[in-house]
Amino acid sequence: MRIRGFRAGALAALVLVVVLAFAASLALGSRWLGIGAVLHALADPNGSDADVIVRSLRLPRTVVAVLIGACLGVAGALMQGHTRNALAEPGIFGVSAGAALAVVLGLQLGIADSVGSTVWCALIGALVATFGVQRLASRGSGATPVGLALTGAAVAALLGALTTSIVLFDANTLDGYRFWAVGSVAGRGLDVAAQVLPFALIGLLLAAINARDLDLLALGDDVAAGLGLSIRRARLVGLLAIGLLTAAGVAACGPIGFLGLLAGHVARRIFGARNSWLIPAAGLTGAAALILADLVGRLVGGAGEVQAGVVLGLVGAPLFVLVVRRRAVAL
C-alpha cells in the first residue's frame, strides 16, 4: 500500500514537472514573458507581439515536444522490456534508420520538400522497418529477446549503410539530410502534430494494453506461456506500438536519439520494473525531457538556437550517467 502511494505521488509529481516545463517553454525564450502575458495569449489574444510569439511560435513546438517526447519515452521503455536489453532504444532498433532512409530517398526524389511531406516519408520508412524487423525476428519459433535485439541492430546497420551511400554521392541530399538528422522541434507546427497524432494515439493505446503482458513476459517466455499468455500476440502488439510511436516521433522531429533510453531508465529507477507504472512514467519523463531540451537550446543559442536533439545528448547524457551510475544493471 505504501509503495503504491509512493508511486502515485511520484507519478503526480512527474505530471507537475511536465506542466511546469510546458509553462516555462511558453514563457521563456529570446524574449521573456510573464505568466500574465502567456495567459493573455492563450485565453484572450488580441494580436499583440507577445500573443503572436506564444501562439504561433512557442505553443506549436511545445505541443509537438510533449507529444513526441511521450511517444519516444514510451517506445524506449517498451523496447527495453521486450528485448530485455538495457541498451534497446529506437536509435539502435532499425526504426529510426528506416525513417532516415525514407527521408533521404524522399529528398533525392524531390518528394520531401517540406516538413509536411518529410513527415510522411519518415512515417512510411519507420513502419516498414518495424514490420521488417518483426517479421525477420519471428522466423522459426518466434521472437526471442536476443534475436529481437540483434535483428534490430542488423537492420539498422543495413539501412544506415544505404542512407550513407546515398548522401555521400549527392551533396544536395546530404545538405537536407543533416538538418533533419540532428533532431529538432523547431518550426514544427500544429499541422505536424495533427499528422502524426493518430499514429501516436494508437501507439499509446497499444502500449497501455501491452504493459500487463510485458510484466508476464518479464518472468520468462516459458512461465508467461504457462500462465496462459499468447507470447506471439504480446510481442506483436508490443512491436506494433513501438513502431507506431517511434514512427510518429521520428517523423515529426527527426531521429532524436537517446530520449527513449533516458526516459526508460529514469522511469525504471523511480518506479521499478512494474510496467503499468513504468510505461506511463517513461512517457511523462520523455515529454518533460524534450520540452526542457528544446527550451535550453533556445536559451543558450542566442540568435541561432541549438537543436533539441543536440541538447538532449549533451545535457541528457550526463543526467543519464548519474541515473545508471549507482546500480548494477539488470532487466
Partner 1 sequence: MTATEQVTAADQVTTVKPRPIVLSVVFALAAVAIAVVSLSIGTTKLPVADVVDVLLGGGRSGTRLIVLELRLPRVATGLLVGIAFAVSGALLQTLSRNPLASPDIVGVNSGAAAAAVAVIVLAGTGGGNISGFAAKVGIPTAAVVGGLLATLVVGLLSIQRGVVDAGRVVLIGVGVAAAANSLVAWLLVIGDVTDAGRAAAWLAGSLNARTWSDAVPVGLAVLVLLPVALMFNRSLEALVLGDDVASSLGVRVSRVRIVLLVIATVLAAMATAGAGPIAFVALVAPQIAQRLAKSDRPPLMTTAMLGALFVTAADLVARNGLELLQVGPYELPVGIVTAACGAPYLLHLIGRQQKGR
Residue from 226, 221, 57, 196 nearest 115 by CA: 196
Nearer to partner 1, 127 or 137 (CB): 137
Nearer to partner 1, 67 or 79 (CB): 79
Q: List helix spans (H) across 218-274.
A: 221-226, 231-253, 259-271
C-alpha cell at 160: 544506415
CB 329 → partner 1: shortest distance, Å? 4
Nearer to partner 1, 161 or 209 (CB): 161
Nearer to partner 1, 279 or 311 (CB): 311
CB 152 → partner 1: shortest distance, Å? 9
Q: How far is CA 116 from CA 111, 179, 180, 207, 267, in A?
A: 10, 15, 13, 26, 32
CB 1 → partner 1: shortest distance, Å? 32
The C-alpha atoms of residue 290 and residue 7 are separated, in whole angstroms, by: 23
C-alpha cell at 109: 526524389
Residues that bind partner 1 (CB under 8 A): 85-88, 92, 136-137, 139-142, 144, 146-147, 149-151, 153-155, 157-158, 160-162, 164-165, 167-169, 171, 174-175, 178-179, 181-183, 257-258, 261, 265, 306-307, 309-314, 316-318, 320-321, 324-330
CB 48 → partner 1: shortest distance, Å? 33
The C-alpha atoms of residue 91 and residue 97 are separated, in whole angstroms, by: 7
CB 139 → partner 1: shortest distance, Å? 4
Q: Contact 254/183 with Cβ under 8 angstroms?
A: yes
Amino acid at 161: A
CB 275 → partner 1: shortest distance, Å? 20
Nearer to partner 1, 279 or 310 (CB): 310
Please give the torsion angle defined by the CA atoms of residues 186, 248, 81 and 258, in that order, rounded to the nearest 10 degrees: -20
Nearer to partner 1, 98 or 203 (CB): 98
